[in-house]
Amino acid sequence: MSERPRVWVSQPLFADVLARLGEHFEVEATREVTRHEPAAVNAILRRMDGALVTLNDPIGAEQIAGAQRLRAIANVGVGYNNLDIAALSAAGILASNTPDVLTETTADFGFALMMAAARRMSEAERWLRDGHWQRWSFDSLLGADVHGATLAILGMGRIGQAIARRATGFGMRTLYHNRSRLPAAVEAECKAQYVGFDELLARADHLVLVLPYSPQSHHLIDAAALAKLQPHATLTNIARGGIVDEDALCDALEHDRLGAAGLDVYEGEPRLNPRLLQQRRVVLTPHIASGSLATRRAMVALAVDNLIAALGFGPRAGDPPSPINGGTRDRGPGTRI
Ligand SMILES: O=C(O)C(=O)CO
């Protein structure tokens, strides 16, 4: 009997969802959340035919060097800046991600984070828990309205569009900027108007970042970009931390050049820029935008489907549902999220 392919699961995920891998493969699963050293990953991948990894696991030339058997990497996540797609493609390794299944959950969270920042919810709760509420006062903790305001979405992929659809229920005016303009029918459905980058910033009451992280978007929101925002504007980031220059953001907050911020992602997470923790007018959450139970399970299930199909098994053998490279839907780097 020929040997079964071997696959590695880099982090503990839902064991019952992963169980399907065992129908086809020898599975080596990591039991605890681990920050794997590149050399350790390389030693493992040299023995593997496939791997299921998360955004905590950078996979590039160093990790796949000499991994002769490796044919597929399934990323659990829609953003895949942890994968070096050029290196994987050059080695003939099929990479996949998990779009669509997290769109609505992530949009819910982005909208909630924007509202929480605008209405100072974290600050208000800290104030209350710290025992400051002695009597009700008419002008304490006044925030900014969301209904009727101008929503500015940077990155109008699936999640950006889902946020725009939510904004219609709040009577917002939605502007967006994206690498390419959306078809008129999609703009009409989202009630969103395409504008240039500078105009987006200048007109935003609430700016929400939903674009992919790439060398082009690194620190796109820097001091110069922040200076284009209105001083009452809020900034919400549910994309990747590296898109925002966090020191420039702290400067803007400290000098009242920005109303508030809602952040779910950080450059260098889980390590936080200590200055962010000092800011009153920020809502900070630990990268949980896609974190509903149902959605996280669906993401793992899709990654499992991708891995099984990419390694030539199951009903879609050879045709994984959401390939990034080398598949029927080669979407190249910087795909909209
Ligand atoms: O899917 C992603 O890209 C995430 O950030 C985690 O949900």
Taking CA atoms only, the protein residue closest to ligand 1 atom 4 is 77
In percent, the amount of the chain with pLDDT more than 90 equals: 96
Residue ranges of E strands in 168-233: 173-177, 192-194, 206-209
pLDDT the model gives residue 199: 98
Q: Is the CB of 55 under 6 A from ligand 1?
A: yes
Rounded to an integer, the average pLDDT of 285-303 is 98
Residue 196 has pLDDT above 60, yes or no: yes
Query: What pTM, to 2 d.p., does this model score?
Result: 0.94
pLDDT at 337: 47
Per-residue pLDDT tens digits for 42-92: 999 999 999 999 999 999 999 999 999 999 999 999 999 999 999 999 999
290 lines ligand 1 (CB under 6 A): yes
pLDDT(327) > 90: no
Q: Which atom of ligand 1 is nearest to the CA of 97?
A: 1
Q: CATH 3.40.50.720: which residues of the chain?
A: 6-101+293-310, 103-284
Nearest CA residue ID for atom 1, ligand 1: 77
Contacts of residue 221, defined as CB under 8 A and 6 or more positions apart, other chains included, come to: 209, 235, 237, 243, 244, 245, 248, 249
**Confidence at residue 22, expressed as pLDDT on a 0 to 100 scale:** 98
* β-strand partners of 156: none
Gap from CA of 77 to ligand 1 centroid (Å): 4
Mean pLDDT on 136-142:
93
- Are the C-beta atoms of 279 and 291 separated by less than 8 Å? no
Which residues are within 8 A (CB) of 182 and not within 5 positions of it... i.e. 6 or more apart?
A: 156, 161, 176, 190, 192, 194
Per-residue pLDDT tens digits for 208-230:
999 999 999 999 999 999 999 99
Predicted confidence (pLDDT) at residue 1 exceeds the cutoff of 80? no
- Calculate how far, in angstroms, residue 252's C-alpha sits from the geometric centre of ligand 1: 27
Cβ–Cβ under 8 Å, residues 232 and 209: no
CATH topology for 6-101+293-310 is: Rossmann fold (3.40.50)
> Can you tell me which atom of ligand 1 is nearest the CA of 296?
7
Name the residue among 37, 83, 41 with its Cα closest to residue 66: 41
Residue type, 67: A
Which residues partner with 234 through β-bridges? 206, 260
Residue 254 backbone dihedrals phi, psi, to 5 degrees: -65, -30
Catalytic positions, written as ranges: 240, 269, 287
Q: Positive or negative, the Cα torsion across 33, 238, 82, 21?
A: positive
Cα-Cα-Cα-Cα dihedral sign, residues 324, 325, 331, 335:
positive
When pLDDT is cut at 50, 70 and 90, the band that residue 5 belongs to is very high
Could you give the count of Cα atoms lying within 13 Å of 93 in the half-sphere of its Cβ?
32
**What's the rounded mean pLDDT across residues 23-50?**
97
Residue 144, pLDDT score:
98
pLDDT tops 60 at residue 328: no
Structure tokens at 122: 């974290």
pLDDT band at 129; cut points 50, 70, 90 = very high
Picking from 154, 150, 159, the residue whose alpha carbon sits closest to that of residue 176 is 154
Q: Can you tell me the distance from the alpha carbon of 303 to that of 131, in angstroms, rounded to the nearest whole number?
A: 46
Over the stretch 156-165, which tens digit does the pLDDT of each residue have? Answer: 999 999 999 9
C-beta 238 within 6 A of ligand 1 = no
Given the CA of residue 76, which atom of ligand 1 is nearest to it?
Answer: 1
Judge whether residue 336 has pLDDT over 90.
no
Q: Is 241 in the pocket of ligand 1 (CB under 6 A)?
A: no
Pocket test for ligand 1, best of 11, 100, 101, 106 (most atoms within 8 A of CB): 106
pLDDT at residue 73 in the model: 98
With beta carbons less than 8 A apart as the criterion, state whether 298 and 292 touch: no
d(CA 178, CA 95): 24
Closest to 237 measured CA to CA, from 109, 330, 136, 124: 109
Mean pLDDT of 305-312: 98
Q: Are 317 and 147 in contact (CB under 8 A)?
A: no
Which residue carries 């109008």 as its tokens?
A: 156
Answer with the residue of higher pLDDT: 334 or 18.
18
Residue 109 to residues 154, 233, 237, 280: CA-CA distances in angstroms? Answer: 16, 19, 11, 21
What CATH number is given for 103-284 in this structure?
3.40.50.720
Give the mean model confidence (pLDDT) for residues 280-292: 98
Sorted by sequence, the CB contacts under 8 Å of residue 316 that are 6+ apart come out as 305, 308, 309
Tokens matching residue 263: 């952040």
77 lines ligand 1 (CB under 6 A): yes
Report the pLDDT value the prediction gives residue 329, as an integer from 0 to 100.
40
Q: Is the CB of 273 under 6 A from ligand 1?
A: no
The structure tokens listed for 191 are 């009630």
For 324, which DSSP code? S
Average pLDDT, the chain: 95
Task: Write the DSSP symbol of residue 59.
Answer: B
pLDDT at 326: 75
Complex ipTM > 0.85: yes
Q: What is the pLDDT of residue 306?
A: 98
- Using DSSP's 3-state secondary structure scheme, residue 47 falls into coil
Compute the distance between CA of residue 261 and CA of residue 250 in angstroms, rounded to an integer: 10
CB of 9 within 6 A of ligand 1: the answer is no
**308, 314 contact by CB (below 8 A):** yes
